[in-house]
Structure 1
Amino acid sequence: MSLAVRFDGIEKQFGPVRVLHGVSFDLAPGRIYGLLGENGAGKSTLMKILAGYERANAGELYVDDTPRTFSNSRDAEEAGIVLIHQELNLADHLTITQNMFLGHEIRKGFFLDESAMREAARIALNDVGLYTNPDTRVRDLIVAEKQLVEIAKAMLRAARLLIMDEPTATLTPSETQRLFALMMRLKGAGTTIVYISHKLDEVERVTDEVIVMRDGRLVARAPTDEVTRQQMANLMVGREVSDMFPDKPALANDAPVAFKVEQASVPDWAEGVSFSVRRGEVFGFAGLVGAGRTELFEALVGLRAMQAGRIEIENESVKLKSPRDAMRHGITYLSEDRKGRGLHVDMALKDNLTMMTLERYAHPLIDGRAERDALTSAVKDFGIRTGNPAIRARMLSGGNQQKLALAKFLHPDPRVIVLDEPTRGVDVGAKRDIYFLIHRLAAEGRAVIVISSELIELIGLCHRVAVMRAGELVATLGMDLLTEERLIAHATGTH
């Protein structure tokens, strides 16, 4: 069952950009390793080499002391190595069961054994805490549920080495705790786990050792209980990282209301939700998975049908039938699904950035130089790490894709900004940059709404936090009442 891995001088480059520089370290069986580093540090690339998705340009990969080169992920899976992707890798039009057994179908003679696959899928889903019908189509799941399907799918592969890339990015604390319990069971059975995460509190809780990469190189390795979170953060970015959250900008008592919602209802998701956000305010939304936060805001900006409700922007009643309609009225919404709804990953960076504001660059032909200048400014302002600005968005790391998505949705200069999981998959240094950006936007007099699964993020950022449960807004807490315990109690109905 056990499996040992050793990287020996691994190098990798994409065109002229070298992303791994002679990386060497080993992984022993039955241990949980925290693999840390900023976006672009090379963590995901190294793990994709291990899992058969990429091939090294130089160096050797040893599995159980045998040199191995995997041609594809199927080869790696047959050796017991499974990667759970940060970016969801599911076919939306297929059912959960079909996704979980795609390429690994169970057969009974010449036919597929549908009942056996369905039952195995159900058991794996229950193990990760997703109690839903395995015949449900993936397109009907929310992002957090899709993440749990990815984890359950990996469980079916009987992995001897499991790589988890930001597995808790969209999970609630209770779902995260269930995942940790599952990891401990796997560790006890001899499975090696590589846990990639920017949530340093989770790394501290669940891992045995931390391995830190920076700029494509291994920079540190130590037992987890010998390294503080602050030291982890400093090692990742190569400098002192302190004061994660800026001081909250003062909010005048007479600050005018910028965005007001009355009795908004979304079929199957939200009922009678009312709230208002003032200029200069950072207003948070908390709640468990399925509480209806994302679906509410998708309806408010025209991405899905709204059954009832009234919307005011700057005291003007508006009807928003599409995101473009919303943008014209000064509101933009950054989806939690940056790959599906935030970016066109097969397009160039500049094309992504200027897509929502093309009229600025058409005279009447598109001014390519002006677009490139805008991208140069965005790369600097948002800290987007790219060796070549002409690449497609797909070539960026997950965190740098998130920064590009933020730049894109702020490019129209909105008055009201809705950010759904704005730091999902973003490293500690970039998180701090985004937090300061959010407060800068508020200080400029904009209304900023932050939907987040990270309670510490909401407490550190927001003037007020609304809590949703089962489609209803059940509480709104001011700064003096913002604690994790209160937020969890309202979200679970145990207050």
Structure 2
Amino acid sequence: MTGIDKRFAGISALSGASFEVGRGEVHALIGQNGAGKSTLIKVLTGYHRRDAGEVTFDGRPFEVFSPHQAQASGISTIYQEINLVPYRSITENICLGREARRFGFLDWKRMHQEAETLLQRFNVRIDVRRPLMEFNTATQQMVAIARAIGFSAKLVIMDEPTSSLDEREVSVLFDVIRQLKQEGVSVIFVSHKLDELYEVCDRVTIMRDGRTIKSARMIEIDKIGLVSSMLGRTIDRAEGHATAFSERDRRKIGDVLLSAENLAINQAVQDVSFDVRQGEIAGFAGLLGAGRTETARLVFGIDRPRAGTMQLDGQKFAPRGPAEAIAAGMGFCTEDRKSEGIVPEMSVAENMMLALMPKLSKSGIIDEKAQREIVERFIKQLGVKCSGPDQKVRELSGGNQQKVLLGRWLAMNPRLLILDEPTRGIDVGAKGEIQSLIKSLADEGLAVLMISSELEEVTEGADRVFVLREGLSVATFDRSEATEDAVMSAMAHGSPPTIAEALS
């Protein structure tokens, strides 16, 4: 793939991207959220039409117009989200679209044998006649992989294939990948787990902001090199202050408000511990898949942990849902504001008042005067640029939509505000305004838990930085210790740098 461009509504998703996979090669494709990995794969498999560039497959120019065409041409894709038919049997899922027939009828005996043979490559021995829904997620993932291999593919794309697998199952999968390699089948391996890349991949391509940043053999680049390339930082970069955060008076920080010990839910969160103090900005740092958002969801009661404990003001805290977290004084600005935050067809006022509405109503009747006063106050306080409270929120810029979401939670007078990627996808000016606002809120005593993929934002903005790696708490840095070098080293290796590493 060379010179690949792809735009959506005038916004560039891929810009001159390139990607090359050798025959019988296991090639890692990595990058943070929004780097362009998924778009590149969707262009290759015919899900999206490219705007520019060339694709060559098996020595010939290549263009398909659907994933089905790509599959027929020898490219099979295993998606992170299992897209099989739960009510159908294992056999039906594996053979779907290429069913064996005998005298015009389905040859069930032959298909059952094929399904069993494919699954035996993974040491999976199950009744293939049973519905897929009766098996756990790991088995379903194995079925998805078996289905892809069953198409006699020349190229298999694996998107986060180990996300639902335990260590034994991952080991079996890697053995199968090595078998495919020996048979001349190429594999594109998309994963955020750095250790896995070094175990099974020959080469790596790193993407950032829709561009191909680097391609190299795995033995030629270390983990720090991978992390710094993904983040666009160099390990010896001179520290500068390019954010709107400025030095804070840490004497204003109070006692611990929220503490969490050994939280776990699945592979995404295996053992996470942290605490947040009154008037403090606590930062979560980590690569994609580190478990930052998943941990925030546990705190806000969206998901419930299977292990670990939380305390709020020294008392046990175990919210059974967001409503209980909100009642306890929490707010949560989610990472995906378009699908999980704003309601696009509703007005600025309606979006801002969603959480507060129950408190403003009496016997089901809303106090419109009180609502208007609150909305106008926060529009002015947050500097929301809009024609008025009745303007549809979808008509606002990304930065102003984010301010509306902040207003929604500030109207609740929270004690703890969780901000997941608060400045993602907004322009530089709005980003500075949001950062200044976060600082002023903390100065006024609000506890803030800030998740950010921008290393500069989290190291300069947080009073303490908690580094997560593959669902584990691996390091904690005070503001004076939270250099980009130290945080990147913990993200790459799972621990702070040693004295020797720091000096080198």
> TM class by shorter-chain length?
0.5 to 0.7
Code of the residue aligned with 2:183 in structure 1: it is: A
Alignment partner, residue 199 of structure 2: 205
Alignment partner, residue 162 of structure 1: 156
Q: Secondary structure at the match of 2:20?
A: strand
Deviation at 1:212, TM superposition (A): 2.3
Distance (Å, rounded) in 2 between the aligned partners of 1:205 and 1:83: 21
Please say if residues 331 and 416 of structure 1, whose CA atoms lie closer than 8 Å, have aligned partners that are also in contact: no
Percentage of matched positions with identical amino acids: 27
Deviation at 1:358, TM superposition (A): 1.8
Code of the residue aligned with 1:15 in structure 2: it is: A
Alignment partner, residue 476 of structure 1: none
Deviation at 1:180, TM superposition (A): 1.4
Deviation at 1:189, TM superposition (A): 0.6
Code of the residue aligned with 1:430 in structure 2: it is: S
Alignment partner, residue 30 of structure 2: 36
Please say if residues 97 and 121 of structure 1, whose CA atoms lie closer than 8 Å, have aligned partners that are also in contact: yes
Deviation at 1:110, TM superposition (A): 4.1
- Spell out the pairing of 1:42-441 with structure 2 (5 A cutoff): 42-128=36-122, 130=124, 132-134=126-128, 135-138=130-133, 141-142=136-137, 144-240=138-234, 323-325=322-324, 327-329=326-328, 358-360=354-356, 368-369=392-393, 375-377=401-403, 381-385=421-425, 430=453
Q: Secondary structure at the match of 1:18?
A: strand
Please say if residues 333 and 422 of structure 2, whose CA atoms lie closer than 8 Å, have aligned partners that are also in contact: no
Deviation at 1:312, TM superposition (A): 8.7
Please, what TM-score do these two structures have when normalized by structure 1?
A: 0.58
Please say if residues 81 and 162 of structure 1, whose CA atoms lie closer than 8 Å, have aligned partners that are also in contact: yes
Unpaired runs of at least 5, structure 1 = 1-6, 244-254, 262-268, 270-275, 283-293, 388-413, 423-428, 463-482, 485-495
Deviation at 1:368, TM superposition (A): 4.3
- Describe the superposition over 1:196-245 as per-residue Cα deviations: whole angstroms up to 9, x where unpaired: 222222222221122222322223222221111211222222212699xx
Q: Secondary structure at the match of 1:20?
A: strand
Q: Secondary structure at the match of 2:224?
A: helix
Deviation at 1:8, TM superposition (A): 3.2
Alignment partner, residue 473 of structure 2: 458
Distance (Å, rounded) in 2 between the aligned partners of 1:356 and 1:131: 54
- Structure 1 residues 94 and 64: CA distance shift in structure 2, 3 A: same
Code of the residue aligned with 1:21 in structure 2: it is: S
Please say if residues 78 and 159 of structure 2, whose CA atoms lie closer than 8 Å, have aligned partners that are also in contact: yes
Deviation at 1:184, TM superposition (A): 0.8
Deviation at 1:48, TM superposition (A): 1.5
Alignment partner, residue 385 of structure 2: none
Code of the residue aligned with 2:204 in structure 1: it is: V
Deviation at 1:140, TM superposition (A): 6.0
- Structure 1 residues 458 and 359: CA distance shift in structure 2, 3 A: closer
- Structure 1 residues 431 and 200: CA distance shift in structure 2, 3 A: farther
Deviation at 1:320, TM superposition (A): 6.6
Structure 1 or 2, whichever has the larger Rg, is: 2
Distance (Å, rounded) in 1 between the aligned partners of 2:310 and 2:222: 46
Alignment partner, residue 3 of structure 1: none
Distance (Å, rounded) in 2 between the aligned partners of 1:371 and 1:415: 27
Alignment partner, residue 383 of structure 2: none
Q: Secondary structure at the match of 2:168?
A: helix
Shifted more, 66-75 versus 118-127: the winner is: 118-127
Distance (Å, rounded) in 2 between the aligned partners of 1:333 and 1:11: 35
Distance (Å, rounded) in 1 between the aligned partners of 2:191 and 2:346: 29
- Describe the superposition over 1:260-303 as per-residue Cα deviations: whole angstroms up to 9, x where unpaired: 99xxxxxxx9xxxxxx99876x9xxxxxxxxxxx9xx99x9698
Distance (Å, rounded) in 2 between the aligned partners of 1:93 and 1:128: 23
- Describe the superposition over 1:338-367 as per-residue Cα deviations: whole angstroms up to 9, x where unpaired: 99xx9669986999xx98972347769987
Equivalences, count: 383
Please say if residues 257 and 314 of structure 1, whose CA atoms lie closer than 8 Å, have aligned partners that are also in contact: yes
Distance (Å, rounded) in 2 between the aligned partners of 1:321 and 1:186: 46
Code of the residue aligned with 2:142 in structure 1: it is: L
Deviation at 1:54, TM superposition (A): 1.6
Q: Secondary structure at the match of 2:41?
A: helix
Deviation at 1:91, TM superposition (A): 3.5
Distance (Å, rounded) in 2 between the aligned partners of 1:355 and 1:117: 53
Deviation at 1:32, TM superposition (A): 1.2
Unpaired runs of at least 5, structure 2 = 238-254, 267-272, 283-293, 358-370, 376-388, 407-418, 428-445, 478-492, 495-504
